[in-house]
Amino acid sequence: MIFLFIALPLVVAGLLPLIGKISKKVLPDILANGVFFVLLCYAVFVGRSLISKGPIVQQLIWLGEPVNIHMALDAFSLFMLFTVALVGLCVGLYSIDYMEHYGDKATYYALLLIMLAGMNGLLIVTDLFQVYLFLEMAAIASYALVAYGLGQDELEASFKYLMLSAVASGFIVISIAILFGLTGGLSFESVAAGLRGLDVKYEVGICTALFIFGFGLKAALIPFHAWLPDAHPSAPAPISAMLSGLLIKVSGIYALTRIFLTVLGLTPALSTILMYLGVISIVVAAFLALGQRDIKRMLAYSSISQVGYIILGIGLGTPLGILGGLFHLLNHALAKSLLFLNSGSIQMSTGTRNLDEMGGLAKRMPFTAATSLIGSLAIAGVPPLNGFWSKLIIIVALVQAKMWAFALIAVLASVLTLWYYLLIQRKAFFGQLNERWRDIKEAPFWMTLSTVILGLLCIAIGILFSLIIKTWVAPARDVLANAAQTMIGARGL
Amino acid sequence: MTLSIGLLVGLVAFSVAAILVRDILKAAICLAAASLLLGILFFVMKAPYIGAFEISVVAGLITVLFMVTIALTKAEGDVRESKLAAWAFPLFFAVFLIIDVLVMKSLIGKIPTQTTTAEGGSFGEALWKGRTFDLVAQIGVIFAGVFAVLALFRKRSKDE
């Protein structure tokens, strides 16, 4: 039953504060990680068999009676559910040790699981208004998680995030209201079908613009990025990893892609706008990242830049472009989560995020240094790591589509990415060990384990890239390419 | 029509006042008044269920929560606020109004009137049969809000 993706985290989240009264640490750790593990297994073993014959729509059956809850699963949503569960599990494992000093782990895990339920819900709904509701569920949990440290910076960043995110939600809900007014329906199918018979070019244009503002803000595309460089560094490291690795992708890119490709249709004009937004994000954020001294802030700007690549690939709209975009989404989720978790390990050991104060940490934190190097090279696109293949596919797709300028910018920005990631490596891990850090130790077991898993995944996906593409990414691409094709045929775009 | 316009003007005026007044208690009252007018507007527009919810939850319950919270808060010195809001907000508001006047009328005019709406049929039917999944999401949103309050107002022990 696909409903498990929402029900399990929600139910466990509801029970956690009570369980937290009995066991403050061990049971919440086991339960939260158990949920991530079960959902990962479910996505890999059951989810794939469910969609073996194509996309499915399931109706919830409660005590033998059908309930009006319809959920859809196709290769695109399953690919995202798999990514969410995989990264979520690593974040959960990391939290076991990292969240010790924050206190009240049960509430932390409850919020984390609600964020998970919100993201999973968004991935399986078939209705525009439910997209908005699950988006809000994940967002509200994330505001609290960003401020979980209760420091001045955390609270300020969370407030800024809340304000801008509320504006984004406002844009999205206005657009949904206009579409409801136009078509009288809210489900993806009925809105798409309703729009086919209407001559409402300008109204759909306004809805499209509002969705771009709204989801662009959620995905932190430039120029809608102002909240991200504050929110992501201020949050506890596992939450930074969740936000940068998953939330901006699910509530920004997934929702945008799903609505544009299956409901409104990817017009040539929209495709161009998305590609420009993507390329501007890639370049501007890469330059902004270069100027940072705070390691987490640098990673946050890097996220904006890499989201640009994903949007560039998907916005191009060709099957190869979509494939590259989706593959980069998975690779970036893994590598960026890894890097944010590593930044948490560094901050926990040294008490600083300032790169200028670090130096030679590899001698004291060998696992963190090694996995950080893997993550950096993966995102920069160095072969044979996973990020190389996804960037290569995006660039080949751009060249195939004769978008020479975009392809050139993508290549040059990749060099820039490598530059600032090598800066992190040089300043934090290489060189002479700063005397201040003579007595620091490697991160605790669970933190190291989760970063090692993510590092190994980056290498394994790089080596087995064709298998991963064949099993997970290509089926997701087919769903989107077919939907885009159907829209073009139906509305003569 | 005149009544609706009057209610809308009042709604906008109280909303603007809620942002601009410096006393948070007055701001909360302005917000409650705005919600009340919105609730009445929903009644006028023949959407009684949403009107009742708006008045009971937003104008009533949430206002009470605001009042209690404000009563529990102690004033600790003056907080200096940016002067930016004082001129930036009216400016944005004016721009919004201009765009609204120029665009919205023709836009709304083009939206065809629907024969079926969410409130066609009884309230129970709409809620339990039509929009059941929304309730699951609403439960999640409420959970998120409750746990957010628990997290942000938790007491930290000395070793944390």
Mean pLDDT of chain A: 90
Half-sphere exposure of residue A256: CA atoms within 13 angstroms, side-chain side: 34
Phi, psi at A68, each rounded to 5°: -80, 60
**Nearest Cβ partner of A144 from B107, B115, B148?**
B148
pLDDT in tens, A326-373: 999 999 999 999 999 999 999 998 888 888 888 888 888 999 999 999
Quick count: other Cβ atoms within 10 Å of Cβ A18?
Answer: 9
Using a CB-CB distance cutoff of 8 angstroms, which residues of chain A are in contact with residue B147? Answer: 13, 17, 107, 110-111, 114, 141, 144
pLDDT of residue A281: 94
- On the question of pLDDT at A41 being above 90, the answer is yes
Q: What is the ipTM of this complex?
A: 0.88
% residues pLDDT > 90 (chain A): 61
Burial category of A79 from C-beta neighbours within 10 Å (exposed 0-12, middle 13-18, buried 19 and up): buried
Report how far Cα B51 is from the mean position of its chain's Cα atoms.
Answer: 12
pLDDT band at A305 (very low <50, low <70, confident <90, very high): very high
CA distance A319 to A412: 24
Using a CB-CB distance cutoff of 8 angstroms, which residues of chain A are in contact with residue B141? Answer: 133, 136-137, 140
Which residue in A135, A96, A79, A190 sits closest to A475, CA to CA? Answer: A79
- Who wins on pLDDT, A460 or A355? A460
Domains in chain A: boundaries: 268-493
Record the tokens describing residue A174, joined without a space.
């206005």
Using a CB-CB distance cutoff of 8 angstroms, which residues of chain B are in contact with residue A136? Answer: 137, 141
With beta carbons less than 8 A apart as the criterion, state whether A262 and A396 touch: no
Using a CB-CB distance cutoff of 8 angstroms, which residues of chain A are in contact with residue B151? Answer: 104, 107-108, 111, 144-145, 147-148
User: Which residues make Cβ contacts (< 8 Å) with residue A480, sequence separation at least 6?
Assistant: A76, A257, A261, A262, A314, A322, A326
- Asked if the Cβ–Cβ distance from B143 to A150 is below 8 Å, we say no
Record the tokens describing residue A271, joined without a space.
């495709």
- Give residue A399's identity as a one-letter amino acid code: V
- Asked if the Cβ–Cβ distance from B141 to A140 is below 8 Å, we say yes
- Asked if the Cβ–Cβ distance from A102 to B110 is below 8 Å, we say no
Mean pLDDT of chain B: 77
- On the question of pLDDT at B129 being above 90, the answer is no
Output b/e per residue, A279-308; b: 16+ Cβ within 10 A.
Answer: bbbbbbbbebbeebebbbbbbbbbbbbbbb
pLDDT in tens, A231-255: 888 899 999 999 988 999 999 999 9
**Nearest Cβ partner of B130 from A10, A68, A108?**
A68
Query: Given its phi and psi angles, is residue A73 left (phi above 0), alpha (psi -120 to 50 degrees) or beta?
Result: beta
Which residue in A227, A242, A209, A20 sits closest to A113, CA to CA? Answer: A242
CA distance A113 to A111: 5
Tokens 């208004």 — which residue? Answer: A129
Q: What angle do CA A432, A438, A444 make, to 5 degrees?
A: 110
SS3 state at A354: strand
With beta carbons less than 8 A apart as the criterion, state whether A173 and A131 touch: no
pLDDT of residue A234: 87
Using a CB-CB distance cutoff of 8 angstroms, which residues of chain A are in contact with residue B154? Answer: 103-104, 107
Q: Looking at the DSSP assignment, which residues form a beta bridge with residue A294?
A: A354
Please report, for residues A48, A181, B120, the alpha-carbon distance to residue B114 in angstroms, rounded to integers and kept in the order given: 40, 7, 11
Record the tokens describing residue B55, joined without a space.
């008045």
- Asked if the Cβ–Cβ distance from B147 to A13 is below 8 Å, we say yes
**Nearest Cβ partner of B154 from A107, A127, A129?**
A107
pLDDT of residue B109: 64
The total number of residues written for chain B in this structure: 160
- Asked if the Cβ–Cβ distance from B151 to A133 is below 8 Å, we say no
- Give residue A381's identity as a one-letter amino acid code: G
CA distance A221 to A461: 26
- Asked if the Cβ–Cβ distance from B147 to A206 is below 8 Å, we say no
User: Which residues make Cβ contacts (< 8 Å) with residue A178, sequence separation at least 6?
Assistant: A203, A206, A207, A210, B107, B111
- Residues from B in contact with A at Cβ < 8 Å: 107, 110-112, 114-117, 128-134, 136-141, 143-145, 147-148, 150-152, 154, 156-157, 159-160
- Asked if the Cβ–Cβ distance from B140 to A108 is below 8 Å, we say no
Tokens 């299956």 — which residue? Answer: A262
Q: Establish whether the linkage from the previous residue to A384 is cis, with ω within 30° of 0.
A: yes
Q: Looking at the DSSP assignment, which residues form a beta bridge with residue A213?
A: none
Work out how many CB contacts closer than 8 A connect A with B. 112
CA distance A394 to A406: 10
The total number of residues written for chain A in this structure: 493
Please report, for residues A156, A259, B82, the alpha-carbon distance to residue B21 in angstroms, rounded to integers and kept in the order given: 22, 40, 14
Does A14 contact chain B (CB < 8 Å)? yes
- Who wins on pLDDT, A377 or A64? A377
Interface test with A, best of B136, B139, B142, B146 (most A CBs within 10 A): B136
Interface of A with B in 34-93 (CB under 8 A): 67-71
- Who wins on pLDDT, B130 or A50? A50
pLDDT of residue B127: 64
CA distance A380 to A306: 9
pLDDT in tens, A259-282: 998 888 888 888 999 999 999 999
- Asked if the Cβ–Cβ distance from B144 to A111 is below 8 Å, we say yes
Record the tokens describing residue A191, joined without a space.
């809105």
- On the question of pLDDT at A150 being above 80, the answer is yes
pLDDT band at B119 (very low <50, low <70, confident <90, very high): very low
User: Which residues make Cβ contacts (< 8 Å) with residue A357, sequence separation at least 6?
Assistant: A350, A434, A436
Using a CB-CB distance cutoff of 8 angstroms, which residues of chain B are in contact with residue A184? Answer: 114-117
pLDDT in tens, A84-127: 999 999 999 999 999 988 888 899 999 999 999 999 999 999 99
* Range of A301-305, B130-134, B145-149 with top mean pLDDT: A301-305
- Asked if the Cβ–Cβ distance from A203 to B111 is below 8 Å, we say yes
Which residue in A259, A140, A162 sits closest to A210, CA to CA? Answer: A259
- Asked if the Cβ–Cβ distance from A110 to B156 is below 8 Å, we say no
With beta carbons less than 8 A apart as the criterion, state whether A477 and A259 touch: no
Interface test with B, best of A107, A108, A169, A199 (most B CBs within 10 A): A107
pLDDT band at A256 (very low <50, low <70, confident <90, very high): very high
pLDDT of residue B80: 62
pLDDT of residue B118: 47
Phi, psi at A426, each rounded to 5°: -65, -45
- Asked if the Cβ–Cβ distance from A17 to B117 is below 8 Å, we say no
CA distance B5 to B11: 10
With beta carbons less than 8 A apart as the criterion, state whether A261 and A318 touch: no
Consecutive H or E run containing A65: strand A65-73
- Who wins on pLDDT, A262 or B114? A262
Interface test with A, best of B143, B149, B150, B155 (most A CBs within 10 A): B143
% residues pLDDT > 70 (chain A): 99
Domains in chain B: boundaries: 1-73, 122-153
- Give residue A439's identity as a one-letter amino acid code: D
Q: Looking at the DSSP assignment, which residues form a beta bridge with residue A62?
A: A65
Interface of A with B in 87-106 (CB under 8 A): 101-104
CA distance A236 to A95: 9
Quick count: other Cβ atoms within 10 Å of Cβ A135?
Answer: 29
pLDDT in tens, A120-138: 999 999 999 999 999 999 9
Please report, for residues A83, B83, B131, the alpha-carbon distance to residue A67 in angstroms, rounded to integers and kept in the order given: 29, 53, 10
pLDDT of residue A20: 86
